[in-house]
Amino acid sequence: MNALDLPLIVEPATLEGLLGTPHLLIVDMTKPATYAQLHIPGAVFLDYGQIIAMRKPVMGLLPTPAQLEKCFSDLGIDESVHVVAYDDEGGGKAGRLLWTLEAMGHPHCSLLNGGLHAWANEGHPVEQTPNTPNPKPFTAHPSNVPVADAEYIMQHLETKTLALLDARTPDEYNGNKRYAERGGHIPGAVNMDWMLALDRQRNLRLKDAAELEQMLNTLGITKEQQVVTYCHTHHRSSLTYVMLKSLGFPNIKGYPGSWSDWGNRQDTPIT
């Protein structure tokens, strides 16, 4: 079984000390050209398109368990493996991988705080040689615990314990920018642009817990609620999901498809 006991958010210095450790798999979710240029030693590349599905105009859906089993098996993940994921855009892609692994019943995963920005800018070792994954048998145990869909949200819209956290830009939230048939937001949702969680002075790490909790508190988001995060496809809001989890929020879900689903339906209420 997994012998690594890593926190959900891992610092670059901690990860550097673990390079080459058995049962550790570092997954790079940058662009292919970036991976070819530099990556963390030992990291295997995963294209973001492998972990999302689409039924246009709805994007960012969960692939089937069978599709994800093949993807994760090919990547070299089994129940003994602890995944540390990173990207070069603030953690959205890497966060989506963590959320997807959780939805498939694999809890052993962490986000590299600051991703490639923090790693490279702070002088940690990099390499250019691509790493070939060592396939392992991944068995999916799908769980709805981290997953919300439109039906779930509509069922609970009037519930006082439900909180909706919209991770899009303010212009998307208020309907000034529209990327679906209808613009606006889910009734009752509060807006926290996903980038507000990141500290630009510290290489796109998550801001300190106290500062993040203060921001959420101001928005009325508390640990007593069932919090659902969404954006346009559940890419940006995956990082929001991981952020909430790192703060100890016990009841959180992500909405795959997000606004590309909600805003393109005719049976969903909109504010």
Q: Which residues are catalytic, by number?
A: 231
- Both tokens of 237, joined, read 């809001």
Strand partners, 112: 10
CA-derived radius of gyration, the chain: 18
Give helix 236-246 / helix 209-219 axis angle, nearest 10°.
Answer: 110
SS (H, E, C) the chain: CCCCCCCCEECHHHHHCCCCCCCEEEEECCCHHHHHHCECCCCEECCHHHHCEEECCEEEECCCHHHHHHHHHHHCCCCCCEEEEECCCCCHHHHHHHHHHHHCCCCCEEEECCHHHHHHHCCCCCECCCCCCCCCCCCCCCCCCCECCHHHHHHHCCCCCEEEEECCCHHHHCCCCCCCCCCCCCCCCEECCHHHHEEHHHCCEECCHHHHHHHHHHHCCCCCCEEEEECCCCCHHHHHHHHHHHCCCCCEEECCCHHHHHCCCCCCCCC
